[in-house]
């Protein structure tokens, strides 16, 4: 067998101390007595005393002040050495344990277009900080297309809304539950009210998000309230809906809320809580029920911390 040669950094001289001596020294420092240290770690008292004497000889420093019938007090040098020894012992303890390899690879992540602008940049930033060995490929889509891609194995997971549809090949991991809110022009008659009802909203033209499945969710809110809105426009872009509302073309109901209540053209919007009990829209991470990627778990933890922080 061919010999394998490893480069050796080299030390100027062999290491003369060992971990056992450091353990005995730290135990004595912690308990303030060789007798109590020996009892605590189940060794003989002479073993503790010898380890301390050997270290003092090696370092040329007095580590303790011995007080008859009282015990040991650390000297200044002893205090500094005990901290160094403890740090080294902790590192040795970690070295003794099985090595935990960082999860690495590429996560192919789908995301719903209406969630992307608000959450995806923050998720990427946090993943780069917490899991730099994981790369992320992004795929934007609607719920139907993302669901198909996860089922076919084309993407590892998808951040989307859960519409309660049975998908036997998928598992839906909860991430957050977003309450719907009313979106009004700044000069709307209801803009000064603390909250509005769906019946009140239905009296104004409605601007409706018409993405597959999302459209049905928003209309179901009005049905549950026993009212039928007059849909003025159906639009696929949240930003376009917001701009249309701000310019007085109707009202809307959304769940994703940007931090700033202004549109691209600088006009102000008013967001209001909806009265009564309304169904929240569940944000989930859909993943294959079997053979899911190991990269999903760290991403799910980050997603929950970003989208639904405690």
Domains of the chain, earliest start first:
19-74 (1.10.10.10), 105-175+283-307 (3.40.190.10), 181-279 (3.40.190.10)
pLDDT digits (tens, 9 = 90+) for 62-72: 999 988 777 89
- Residue 111, SS3? strand
Going by C-alpha positions, the residue among 173, 213, 191 that lies closest to residue 272 is 191
What is residue 6's predicted lDDT score, i.e. its pLDDT?
42
What is residue 166's predicted lDDT score, i.e. its pLDDT?
73
pLDDT digits (tens, 9 = 90+) for 29-60: 989 999 999 999 999 999 999 999 999 999 99
What is residue 99's predicted lDDT score, i.e. its pLDDT?
62
**pLDDT class of 92 with cuts at 50, 70, 90:** confident
Q: How far lies 305's CA from each of 82, 130, 300, in Å?
A: 39, 12, 9
Q: Mean pLDDT throughout 116-130? A: 93
**Backbone φ, ψ for residue 3 (5° rounding):** -70, 140
Judge whether residue 250 has pLDDT over 90: yes
Q: Mean pLDDT throughout 181-198? A: 95
Helix (H) / strand (E) element for 19: namely helix 19-31
Mean confidence (pLDDT) of the chain = 89
Distance (Å, whole) CA 81 – CA 30: 13
Q: Mean pLDDT throughout 174-203? A: 94
Q: Mean pLDDT throughout 140-156? A: 91
pLDDT digits (tens, 9 = 90+) for 210-227: 887 788 889 999 999 999
């Amino acid at each position: 067998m061919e010999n394998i040669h490893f480069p050796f950094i080299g030390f100027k001289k062999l290491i003369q101390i060992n971990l056992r001596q450091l353990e005995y020294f730290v135990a004595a420092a912690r308990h303030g007595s060789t007798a109590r240290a020996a009892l605590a770690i189940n060794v003989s008292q002479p073993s503790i005393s010898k380890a301390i004497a050997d270290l003092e000889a090696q370092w040329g420093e007095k580590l303790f002040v011995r007080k008859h019938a009282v015990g040991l007090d650390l000297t200044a040098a002893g205090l500094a050495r005990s901290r160094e020894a403890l740090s080294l012992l902790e590192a040795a303890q970690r070295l003794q344990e099985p090595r935990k390899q960082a999860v690495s690879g590429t996560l192919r992540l789908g995301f719903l277009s209406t969630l992307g602008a608000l959450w995806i940049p923050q998720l990427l930033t946090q993943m780069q900080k917490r899991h730099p060995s994981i790369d992320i490929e992004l795929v934007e889509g609607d719920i139907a297309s993302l669901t198909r891609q996860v089922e076919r194995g084309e993407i590892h997971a998808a951040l989307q809304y859960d519409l309660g549809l049975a998908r036997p090949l998928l598992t839906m991991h909860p991430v957050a539950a977003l309450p719907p809110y009313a979106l009004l022009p700044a000069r709307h008659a209801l803009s000064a009210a603390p909250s509005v009802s769906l019946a009140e909203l239905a009296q104004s033209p409605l601007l409706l998000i018409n993405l597959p499945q999302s459209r049905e969710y928003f209309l179901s809110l009005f049905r549950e309230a026993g009212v039928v809105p007059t849909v003025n426009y159906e639009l696929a872009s949240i930003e376009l809906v917001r701009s249309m509302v701000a310019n007085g073309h109707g009202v809307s109901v959304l769940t994703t809320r940007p931090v700033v209540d202004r549109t691209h053209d600088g006009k102000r919007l008013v967001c209001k809580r909806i009265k009564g009990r309304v169904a929240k829209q569940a944000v989930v991470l859909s993943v294959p029920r079997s053979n899911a990627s190991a990269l999903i778990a760290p991403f799910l933890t980050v997603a929950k911390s970003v989208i639904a922080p405690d």
